[in-house]
A and B are shown apart, each in its own frame.
Chain A
Amino acid sequence: MITSFRAAARNGETDAHVAKWARDLLGTTRLLEASPAAADPVMKRLLDDLELVIVQIVQYTTRGTNDPEELDLIEQSIKKRGVITKLRGTLPGQSNLPGIRG
């Protein structure tokens, strides 16, 4: 989802499919944050990072306007929180957690 968002946003597009996807993923992330899965500190950290990034993506896609500065801030969060690397390192190729699929 993050990769799709970045690709579309770079071209000045906001895809309705990505917007829906982001909202669903935000819901799942928050549920997992409240679940026993978050007792694992590594998972908790990943979920915190994910939530921050997805909240911004949800807000950006909801606005539906092209805002390079906001986009830059989202990109900064993705990089500073190392979300992509952590996702690749933490989750197996095909996760069975509901809502998270490889």
Chain B
Amino acid sequence: MNRTLQIACALMVASATARAQAASKATQDRADSLYRVGRTAIDNRDYRRAETVLKQVVDRYPLADRAAESLYWRSWALYQLGTTTSNRGDLDDALAVIERYNTNYGKNAKMASDATDLYGRIRTAQAQLGDARAAGEVVQRADAVRQPRACTGSAADEEMRTAALDGLLSMNSADAVPILKDVLKQRDACRTELRKHAVFLISQKRSADVVSTLLDVARNDPSSDVRGDAIFWLSQTRSEQAIPAIDSVLFSSGDLEIRKRAVFALSQYRDVRARQALQRAAEDEKLPEDVRGDAIFWLGQGRSLDLEYFKGLFRKTKNEDMRNRILTSVGQSSAPEASTWLVEIARDKSFDTETRKQAIFWAGQKRAFDLEQLSTIYDQSRGDTEFQNHLLFIYSQRRESAAVDKLMAIAKSDPNLELRKQALFWLGQKNDPRVRQFIRDLINK
């Protein structure tokens, strides 16, 4: 009897455990699917729905695996609502939710840094909307970053410092710039990311010493990455003093990447001094070819092409690569005179074949290019098989049926067998019924 009772009790316990497990699994599933609805609403930019649904996950299933993540993403959605509509109420709610996350799940180090980061961003947004307490907190956090401390080796520590620094966006220039200048003096390798942020932040401020500080960073920071950013953001300050500063970096830096960045930065100005600096760079044979090439490229990107300048530069330079860069720059222009000049270069046998090939290539890329001209150049180039071969390639690139006619004529009767074979090759790439018939006729001949 006792034995039977024991078995019955064991069965009841097992059944209850199974029921509890099934219920727990069902709860997890419901929480998971509600969480998924909330996350999908975020993807759909329906942040109000997202925060409402994610609140339900936490309220109904506080012990579910997804409860912590729901809190994080709810705060994130509220932050988006608060910043896009400048709604202080949503930002206050976002703060309350992330504080709840930190209280309940703060020990979960894997998401803790994200939560701290979000907390800092919410406080910064609140400060930007005039919340004095938030502004005070932002200042305190940023001021702590200002004090040089030895690197701990912890990535999380550095991220926290960076997040604190980002709060300076909302602070006025007079208060923020001295802090940022102190941060930029911390030139340890572990502070590279921090300095990159500081470079950006200082470029957003209006202060007399912003340009000189960025220039100092561009010249002296040990990290090439930070120096490059300094050049870029220097150009974005739109300060009158920035152009000569970037100009000086372009011609005096020993760092190729920095010089290239300086060229790009100058290209962003519509200012005669910036243009002149680029022209000097394009002409300066002491500069690395890459830098000169970039200068030529950016000079060709303006709204109106200064063809006379490029013609003069082309005449002066003996460097084949630079000549090709000039042809490429001119080739980007849709101006008819650019096309005319390219054809002139292609016809001029005093230039080497590579240069002429490059010139006719760019001319041939233009829709308005006259095929008659190409035919004349082809006929005038007899004896120069390499160049004629290149012209066949130009024909093959054209969509006009006259180009196919010319290729068929060459394939049929050009005195040069090699050119006939090459024309046939390019014809084989065309999807044209006339070509199929032409090849059939040739085979059956």
Contact = CB atoms under 8 A, between A and B. Distances in A.
Most B CB within 10 A of own CB, among A27, A76, A97:
A27
Contacts of A36: 236
Contacts of B261: 96
B193 A24 contact: yes
Contacts of A64: 110
Contacts of A24: 193
B249 interface: no
Main secondary structure of the interface of A (DSSP, over half): helix
A36 B44 CA distance: 26
Interface range for B:
20 to 34
A15 to B, nearest CB: 16
A92 to B, nearest CB: 11
B110 A23 contact: no
B39 interface: yes
A76 B40 contact: yes
Interface string B1-45: 000000000000000000000000000000010001001101110
B435 interface: no
Given A76-B43, A81-B43, A96-B232, A23 B159 contact: yes
Contact of B44 (A62, A73, A80): A80
Contacts of B166: 30-31, 34
Contacts of B111: 59, 62-63
A35 B199 CA distance: 12
Contacts of B200: 31, 34-35, 98
Contact of A96 (B42, B110, B197, B264): B264
Contacts of B32: 69
Interface in A43-74: 52, 55, 58-59, 62-64, 69, 73
Most B CB within 10 A of own CB, among A30, A36, A76, A98:
A98
Interface string A71-93: 00100110011000000000000
A27 B162 contact: yes
A52 B43 CA distance: 8
A63 B228 contact: no
A96 B268 CA distance: 11
A58 B117 CA distance: 12
Interface in B346-389: none
Interface in B128-166: 155, 159, 162, 166
Contacts of B233: 98
Interface string A10-37: 0000000000000110010011001110
Contact of B110 (A62, A69, A73): A62
A27 B435 CA distance: 57
Contact of B193 (A27, A35, A80): A27
A27 B197 contact: yes
Contact of A59 (B36, B42, B43, B114): B114
28 contacts: A24-B193, A27-B162, A27-B193, A30-B121, A31-B197, A31-B200, A34-B166, A34-B169, A34-B200, A35-B204, A52-B42, A52-B43, A55-B114, A59-B111, A62-B110, A62-B113, A62-B114, A63-B111, A73-B36, A77-B42, A96-B232, A96-B261, A97-B232, A98-B200, A98-B225, A98-B228, A98-B232, A98-B233
Interface of B: 32, 36, 39-40, 42-44, 76, 110-111, 113-114, 121, 155, 159, 162, 166, 169, 193, 196-197, 200, 204, 225, 228-229, 232-233, 236, 261, 264
Given A24-B193, A76-B39, A80-B44, 12 more contacts: A27-B193, A27-B197, A34-B204, A55-B76, A59-B111, A62-B110, A77-B43, A96-B261, A96-B264, A98-B200, A98-B225, A98-B228
